[in-house]
Chains A and B, each alone.
Chain A
């Protein structure tokens, strides 16, 4: 008995789609007050056209409700992408909205609230939406990309939380809104700053002399092929000679190697400031073409170079706790 009923309810929910809320605005209430005033006046003077106007405006108010509702009714958030940013820069979520209705939508306000914890007060969920931005128009049956930018205030993972779309279009008599709960998140790296110089690369490098230094620039010899070696590094000519797969080994000429350690910034007291300094070093090391490693108390990343490596290091810094 219960199961078909709940199935039915699920289907109904699907059909109904997202919940859209609508209430009159301050001006809507003012409008209603004026209407009642006009109607009272019309009754008092037994003025027929006064009745007509009051009824016309009343009907207009009802129709406006439908129009305001329609403005949001069929809008879906289909996609959100973002790129990591450094703290202080604006996080830009590229949101893709799909307007599935046959009508254009105008003037939609997008805002968001991070904190999604449940509160005993149901009205808490109504307020606290920040960073409102206007989006207009949303063409009928088209997707529209919108860059929603948010200030980043601290490093770490920035979850978008609930996105709220709201609109008062066309008459401003009603306010309608709906939510898109989601778990889209952006990564915020620490802000690169600090005055300490880069640790001495060579001094660090000599310590590691015995280790194999691998780079990409200078040919340093052959190694036997191991699974996972890059294909482009296979020495095909050498294979033609003796049927043994070898990979060419290169070494980096320029900066040598740099190990970035948590201990290097121990003279800075503040953890955030330390991370900022480390972040700056990572960027410096990356741009000067060195191979670098990062060791944090809870994580360590071996030597490497390049975009992916940088991202790995910065992510470790961003998420350090």
Chain B
């Protein structure tokens, strides 16, 4: 029962509160039955039976109201939780007990839909141990075995099962899922950047500590200020919201990229975000081979399917490049502005336009404007309303990267320079433990690209004009301590540093876990087995290896189980302890009584104790049950030879 509760515990986090309440109430009912003999629902107790049935009906109705169905993932798990709770109140026969135990295992599995962290795995082990112990308890018909022993036995069995589990995990031929259709809610929307942008949206993301992706560079890590991870490119604006092009439009032709400079090779582990884009350092030299992907006209690396699981891909990038230098089919779209909006912005742009027609100089003017006027980079910008661009540029002047990117784009377009907004992540934090660059949601960023004849799309980051630190040192340097660690810890610099170190370690561990345990699928299995020396692994070979190795390990385990040399006699052990404390050595054929006589001559002061111990040992060892081991233990522990 404890196992069930523990197994259900993580679910309470994802499910409506009343699911937890009903579950705990049912468990409580059962406990009261055990401790206080409250009646349980049965044929004899009609009232309780009705109560239980009505609770069940009530729960199903609530579920239907809440989820609209009972077969989706969330609804199914909630149903399982509630029904298992209700089942607990009517466990009578051993059949019921087995059934609920097995359903309990199932409940543990459903946990994994939501979280596959190390903690969840550890919880799983604890739950399985407790469930196993309760199965032992069920088979202990007379309840004569101590609970501690049951837990120990369960733990032992599990420990013996672990090597087999590892073999199965490594060698069991993996099949790429899904086998059948998944319910619609199988993958939840995750936090992360979107393919649309409104002012104030990205600044919500910086509250999130969640990891977006991790990058492991093969040799050299580029400088912080060149770590631009391209995500969705936004073209169209209606004055407040920026959106991407229609997918069909921009996937038609690949972009024209000429890159040069140092080649950085890296492997990215991307968390599932249920969207199609992959993040890459501007600009990859070719498509990754691990996934089915393509380049869009505006330079995005996109997967053919939504990223529903954590994936890993290898890329190499060069940070100096020209993009679509000759021509771009969507140039007109990069000049689009909503009609009759942003009058003050338009006016400013026209003013610049009159000064010069050279795009370079217009850009220069805009950046200088941001730099020299009193613009501030802030993580909590003033909320805007009405004509947001005008308001920001001429009134509040306190903004986050998206404010600068959006208003810069509007200025450029008004001045006749084709410009677009690029969203993605900038920077990241190197974990010193494993040298992996960790990019969190708070590293989300928005910048712009300007098209200049002959040079193509050039990256302009207006945020850099306002806050150099953001780009050159990364987000975490800009953020105050209080935003990076829990409030309590942030009070002291030392604690905060400790916290950071701890987090780095945990994250390094988490990364290994993700890469090796959670990502272990058909592909990784083949790679890993090939590394182990299996030439061209296929499922027949895996099964052969599996059967062979499992047989060997089972043989070893059974040797372990059946043959034990060491004798675990507590009486003999205690006596041995006693013998070890004295200076004399007991002869091989010397009986305990003779030995005691010799000892008494040597330790005349301890004669009484020696007699006691010897007598107890003889009584215990030769079958006299009147003596107790406890007593012997006491005497032996108290025994101090005096000479």
Contact = CB atoms under 8 A, between A and B. Distances in A.
A103 to B, nearest CB: 7
B108 interface: yes
Given A42-B109, A53-B112, A70 B139 contact: no
Interface in A94-152: 101-103, 106-107, 134, 136-137, 140-141
A240 interface: no
Q: Which of B116, B132, B144, B157 counts the most A-chain CB atoms under 10 A from its CB?
A: B157
Given A136-B142, A169-B140, A60 B568 contact: no
A134 B138 CA distance: 14
A48 B158 contact: no
A37 B110 CA distance: 12
Given A45-B186, A47-B112, A172 B138 contact: yes
Interface stretch (B120-128, B226-234, B285-293): B120-128
A55 B165 contact: yes
Contacts of B102: 30-31, 34
Q: Is the interface of A mostly helix, strand, loop or mixed?
A: helix
Given A55-B169, A66-B561, A41 B144 contact: no
A56 interface: yes
A185 interface: no
Interface string A6-49: 00000000000000000000010011001001101111111111
B113 A59 contact: no
Interface string A54-84: 1111111011101100100100000000000
A32 to B, nearest CB: 10
In this complex, the member of A62, A107, A141 whose beta carbon has the largest number of chain B beta carbons within 10 angstroms is A62
Nearest to B308: A46
A134 B141 CA distance: 9
B309 interface: yes
A43 B179 contact: yes
Nearest to A39: B172
A55 B172 contact: yes
A70 B379 CA distance: 66
A52 B172 CA distance: 11
A41 B561 contact: no
B94 A172 contact: yes
Contacts of B163: 59
A106 B145 contact: yes
B210 to A, nearest CB: 19
Interface stretch (B238-246, B418-426, B514-522): B514-522
Given A134-B142, A170-B139, A55 B106 contact: no
A31 B95 CA distance: 12
B168 interface: yes
A60 B179 contact: no
A57 B154 CA distance: 12
Nearest to B98: A27
Contacts of B502: none
A305 interface: no
Contact of A45 (B135, B140, B177, B567): B177
B490 to A, nearest CB: 33
B98 A63 contact: no
A136 B558 CA distance: 23
Contacts of B162: 56, 59
Contacts of A63: 157, 160-161, 164, 557
Given A46-B176, A48-B116, A168 B139 contact: yes
B591 interface: no
A48 B172 CA distance: 12
A43 B105 contact: no
Contacts of B622: none
Contacts of A239: none
Nearest to A41: B109
A52 B169 contact: yes
A51 interface: yes
A185 B180 CA distance: 63
B557 A66 contact: yes
Contacts of B105: 34, 38, 53, 57
B139 A49 contact: no
B562 interface: yes
A109 to B, nearest CB: 9
A170 B165 contact: no
A174 to B, nearest CB: 11
Contacts of A52: 121, 124, 165, 169, 517
Contact of A48 (B94, B518, B554): B518
B132 A60 contact: yes
Contacts of A48: 116, 517-521
Given A40-B179, A44-B180, A48-B517, A172 B139 contact: yes
B564 interface: yes
Given A56-B162, A59-B162, A172-B135, A45 B517 contact: no
B17 interface: no
A107 B141 contact: yes
A161 interface: no
A233 interface: no
B178 interface: yes
Nearest to B103: A34
Interface string B561-578: 111100110000000000
Contacts of B557: 63, 66
Nearest to A170: B136
A57 B108 CA distance: 12
13 contacts: A30-B98, A43-B175, A49-B121, A55-B164, A57-B128, A58-B165, A59-B163, A59-B168, A60-B158, A63-B160, A106-B140, A107-B142, A136-B144
Given A58-B165, A66-B561, 6 more contacts: A48-B521, A51-B172, A53-B105, A56-B124, A141-B567, A170-B139
Interface of A: 27, 30-31, 34, 37-38, 40-60, 62-64, 66-67, 70, 73, 101-103, 106-107, 134, 136-137, 140-141, 168-172
Interface of B: 94-95, 98-99, 102, 105-106, 108-109, 112-113, 116, 120-121, 124-125, 128, 132, 135-136, 138-142, 144-145, 153, 157-158, 160-165, 168-169, 172, 174-180, 182, 186, 309, 517-521, 554, 557-558, 561-564, 567-568
Q: Nearest 6 CB-CB pairs, A to B?
A: A59-B164, A59-B161, A55-B168, A102-B564, A46-B177, A49-B112
